[in-house]
Amino acid sequence: MAGSTTDVLEMIIPESQAGIRLDKVLAKLFPAYSRSQLQQWLKEGRIQVDDHLPLLRQAAQGGEIVRVQVPVSDPSEWQAQDLPLKVVYEDEHLIVLDKPTGLVVHPGAGNPDGTLANALLYRFPETTNLPRAGVVHRLDKDTSGLLVVARTAIARQQLIRDLEHHRVIRIYAAIVNGRILAGGRITQPIGRHPRDRLRMAVNE
């Protein structure tokens, strides 16, 4: 019977976050998940700080190692569908896809099929045996760009390690409003917008 698997995400809490409540820090470190979802995982014991189960409202000290066990549904429960899929590179280890805007990456609430993962299972059946159908990172529905997919368990483990240790460089193109007078660089972590939970922002 199909069930679920777990992905383990690991991050180090920056020293700059010392004294801030843990759930707020987690929302900045893992912006792909809502604060309420992270709070629920805290209650369920899916989040460890330095190998201990933290309290919901405890403050971060800075330098701690955070591990989050993210539940992932089994791809064998998903339907393989013959949908358009733009492959820009592939070899025996991985696939690089060009994801268009408007396409959801994984099936979920409100999107049971018609996703990029459904198309992956059809064109690359071997991804059925991998968590998240081999997808090792995500792009939001309204974001276009390149998406890396593992074809083997070994490739998936290596890609996840590379992402965790920031050995993968991501370059984003964005539309800005107003006139930029000079070049600049933003190095602050992003988090969810304090008023619009569907947007991301630099909150510091």
Which residue shows structure tokens 């660089």? Answer: 185
Residue 53 burial (CB count, 10 A): 10
Euclidean distance between CA atoms 121 and 128, whole angstroms: 6
132 contacts 96 by C-beta, under 8 angstroms: no
To the query of whether residue 74 is one of the catalytic residues in this protein, the response is no
> Are the C-beta atoms of residues 63 and 15 closer than 8 Å to each other?
yes
Helix axes 35-44, 22-29, angle to 10 degrees: 120
Structure tokens at 76: 């064998």
Query: 51 to each of 54, 70, 139, how far by Cα in Å?
Result: 9, 16, 29
Catalytic position from the list 7, 23, 98, 140: 140
CA distances 194 to 5, 16, 132, Å, are 32, 19, 29
* Phi (first) and psi of residue 152, to 5 degrees: -135, 160
Q: What positions carry a catalytic annotation?
A: 140
